Amino acid sequence: MGETAKHILVLGGARSGKSRYAEALGETVTGNRIYIATAQARDTEMTQRIAAHRKRRENRWTTLEEPLNLAGALANAGEQHGFILIDCLTLWLSNLLLAEQDCERAVGSLIETLDACAGTVVIVSNEVGGGIVPDNELARRFRDVAGTANQRLAQACDEVVLVTAGLPQILKPAR
């Protein structure tokens, strides 16, 4: 984490090590840390993933589960925590799409809240544009929404990191 970086976007593919990287950033700070989790346990496999993430963090983090109102959760967490990790943006976008909410407006609200947040905020998101074109409308819409959201957040954040095979690559260094 750069010395002046307050808002960091961590991108990567599935199982790239992006969450571990983001958590490691949080482990280096003293004080209160909050983990805003956006995943919903809709099936057994996701329930197991959520449990593995919780176990890895143990009791070193305060966890807040918020599948839809991410801007509200960030605003509340920002008042009392110096380090906030949001994991993950793309699961949140999936939740919004399935709830038929306006993703563009929600991302705008998140960015406004991020701009007002004084603490360090790390946002984990999947880079979804490197694969094949999805074969159905919902999947294509998700890819487009996620790609646009990642671009908007990359502009709003002080630092952007791409994690591939567990190796961080600084795309936008903190100034």
- Annotated catalytic residues are 53
CA distance 49 to 116: 31
Q: Which residue has the tokens 């801007």?
A: 71
Angle (nearest 5°) at CA 92 between 18 and 73: 95
Four-residue CA torsion sign, 68, 158, 126, 18 = negative
Give me the phi and psi of 46, to 5 degrees please: -70, -35
Cβ neighbourhood burial of 6 (10 Å; 0-12, 13-18, 19+): middle
